Structure 1
């Protein structure tokens, strides 16, 4: 099941138009006609892309607009896709961002949101760099195991 969700996610985001749709929807909810204009593709193409994004659980329909003729889409299925590819291993996993939401640190009400964002981005970079060290070590260990 996890493999199916990963495949659906990869299939959905491999297309640059669908990635652009997701970028737009993370800024504001929208409907197909507006997305067509913003992204610069036909209404028919947008509908196809929206169908595939919805199938991959990356967006969903929240409601029709006031007159009931326009479907409003919002992003969903928030996750981190991790692909590790080296000489000695290949691993893909998807982690849902809000699975462990109760362990999310609180905002620091005493400092600006921009400063907090910078700190969080810096910590993510630091963790990523540390992770890369461990991936290189894993690769070396796997190489030794394979050479025996």
Structure 2
């Protein structure tokens, strides 16, 4: 056991003092971005822009209504269903097998999670938290994606 540990320690020391390792450390190499999904703003095609604009408008109308008169539990559940249907139409036919697609999938999943909280929370404050999660994720989309004219929502 000790001889194996000693051999592994010597091998690691040899690797770390080798010329390739020392040159890389001396050059101060910094890993570069590995994919275009890391660039901002992230690309958005016309179908995504249209779907996200529809989703934003749907939520904006309810936020304005909520300022005038508080939403009921049934209102939250109905809005959650509308949000989930809209996310479903955005997802339809979309490729999520690249870095940009995976980021979009995460973002849409976060919106769906907020809608799920709106639907399943037993009390209105929990449903309101779900709506706020949807609003914050939509605002994040506006900051991260190439969507000219996007207006942030004010919860």
TM-score, length-scaled by structure 1: 0.29
> Which one has a bigger Cα radius of gyration?
2
The structure showing larger relative contact order (alpha-carbon pairs under 8 Å, at least 6 residues apart) is 2
The structure with the greater share of residues assigned to helix is 2
The structure with the greater share of residues assigned to strand is 1
TM-score, length-scaled by structure 2: 0.28
